[in-house]
Amino acid sequence: MSKRFLAAALLFSVSLAPAYAAKTSLVVGMPIEPPGLDPTIAAPVAIREVTWANLYEGLVRIDRNGKVQPMLAKSWEVAPDGLTYTFRLQTGVKFHDGSAFDSADVKFAFDRARAPNSTNAQKQILAPIEAIETPDPATVVIKLKETSGNFLTYLGWGDAVIVAPETAENNKANPVGTGPFKFKSWTRGDRVELTRNPDYWQKEKTKLETVTFRFISDPQAQVAALRAGDLDAFPNLSAPELFSEFQKDARFKAVAGNTEGEIVAGMNSAKKPFDDPRVRRALMHAVDRKSLVEGAYSGFGQPIGSFFSPNHPAFVDMTAVIPYDPAKAKALLAEAGHGGGLSITIKTPQMAYASRSAELLSAMLAEAGVELKIIPTEFPAKWIEEVFRGKDYDMTIVAHAEPLDMDIFARDNYYFNYKNDKFKALIADAAKTTDEKARFAKYAEAQKILAEDVPALFLFQLPKLGVWNAKLNGLWENSPVPSNDVTEVTWSE
């Protein structure tokens, strides 16, 4: 008896023996492959999801809660008039090619991004800059033409990361930044591999040795790869209907967070009958957002009543402004002279969230006597040509992924064809307001205007359905900026 017990104990201890050290590699899945690896020259979200905070760093960064934190600038002062920003830089920072980082690189990077021939996707964030001065290698002074309330936040985006003059040209294929990971290889159509940067300036922060981003567009294949252990994490799963299975599985952690993407059904306000706000309000009254989220996204995703991310501290829930009320919808339509019914079309991209939402909208609007015909419109090429540039549409549906992009409703010539001078003035005013409280109050007012005027049917916030190995810590649950920041990721035993 005691012998057997001993044997069992021995066996037990043997099985425990390889008390292995924590894993130091990470394989992350993404649905879309980036077209290049330079976030300062093109818009696609996938570029930021590989590079931001991992390969490149900015003067400041956005943390997982959406707050601005110091990065390459260890501190800064803003002059009382809000027009002069003085940044004190970290010293001893090196780019991946070994060259030193200093104030000249900052000036170069921003001048390159705001140059007339630059293809930077968010040039307007650097537009207020009048001049950049570099009194010494560790100091940058940025002078603005006009105050910019979100200037520091903008500097934390991927569009404003610091690149070196020697290597900037080749960053698209061979990225060189100051981040904790260096570029190793890119197998087109399959994966991008990064390795630890041994000379990183905050060496103790990052535990991982290698990070691999794999690109898998098919939702079934994403799930299979996670189950097989080929992937350690999929921060943004494509198919919500497959997500709930992971919620029940103890091997995985499944977190439904928010992205910055609002799903809206834009209406062509320059075209009849959408030039009449009563018609737009009537259509909004006809939409049961809760059922829509249930049917189109398996219940994940927060219903929205205006165009502002719930991740942002200035967010106000506006879903009650125009609630689901089919009777009111019919009455408003009759008042606007469409009591006999209305027939409109919706140009619908092929993405599952869009086509499913369009089918549900079509069924819901039918209850209010509106016939909504679905016209499949291939995204991006055909959609950009017909809807975005051509403005040849009644209604369309797409997710707007950029953070703080409420100003699209204030832009002339944007595809909504929406004109509201009061809103436009308010947004311009908010952009210049440096006092946070005052700025947030203006954002709240702007949200209210959109909620009441409905230039687009505000449907729901695209969720970030993250699935990862239960032993993995440090991934982001929400994405206040498009990113897969893996710098704080660790494995537990």
Interface with another protein (CB under 8 A): 219-220, 239, 241-242, 245, 288, 291, 294-295, 350, 352, 355-356, 358-360, 362-364, 366, 374-376
Nearer to another protein, 130 or 241 (CB): 241
Nearer to another protein, 135 or 376 (CB): 376
Nearer to another protein, 336 or 375 (CB): 375
Cβ atoms within 10 Å, residue 448? 15
CA distances to 180, 206, 412 from 195, rounded to whole Å, are 9, 11, 45
- The secondary structure of residue 79, as a DSSP letter, is -
CA–CA gap between residue 84 and residue 95 (Å, rounded)? 27
Nearer to another protein, 223 or 454 (CB): 223
CA–CA gap between residue 201 and residue 187 (Å, rounded)? 28
Nearer to another protein, 25 or 350 (CB): 350
Nearer to another protein, 337 or 341 (CB): 341
CA–CA gap between residue 308 and residue 458 (Å, rounded)? 10
Provide, rounded to whole angstroms, the least separation between the CB of residue 386 and another protein: 11
Burial level of 70, CB count in 10 A (0-12/13-18/19+)? middle
Nearer to another protein, 138 or 239 (CB): 239
Provide, rounded to whole angstroms, the least separation between the CB of residue 302 and another protein: 17
Closest CA to 82 of 42, 142, 27, 135: 142
Nearer to another protein, 63 or 325 (CB): 325
Q: Return the sign of the alpha-carbon dihedral for residues 319, 404, 266, 484.
A: negative
Provide, rounded to whole angstroms, the least separation between the CB of residue 293 and another protein: 9
Nearer to another protein, 27 or 364 (CB): 364
Provide, rounded to whole angstroms, the least separation between the CB of residue 298 and another protein: 8
User: For tokens 């954002």, what's the residue?
Assistant: 443
- The secondary structure of residue 266, as a DSSP letter, is E
Burial level of 34, CB count in 10 A (0-12/13-18/19+)? buried
Provide, rounded to whole angstroms, the least separation between the CB of residue 328 and another protein: 20
Closest CA to 399 of 265, 262, 268: 262
Contact 94, 201 (CB under 8 A): yes
CA–CA gap between residue 8 and residue 2 (Å, rounded)? 10
Nearer to another protein, 291 or 434 (CB): 291
Number of residues that make up the chain = 493
Name the region of 276 (left: φ>0; alpha: ψ -120 to 50; beta: rest): beta
Provide, rounded to whole angstroms, the least separation between the CB of residue 388 and another protein: 18
Per-position DSSP letters for 330-362, written without gaps between them: HHHHHHTT-TT-EEEEEEE-SSHHHHHHHHHHH
Contact 293, 460 (CB under 8 A): yes
Provide, rounded to whole angstroms, the least separation between the CB of residue 284 and another protein: 18
Provide, rounded to whole angstroms, the least separation between the CB of residue 376 and another protein: 6
Which secondary-structure segment (H or E) carries 264? strand 252-266
Provide, rounded to whole angstroms, the least separation between the CB of residue 363 and another protein: 4
Provide, rounded to whole angstroms, the least separation between the CB of residue 289 and another protein: 11
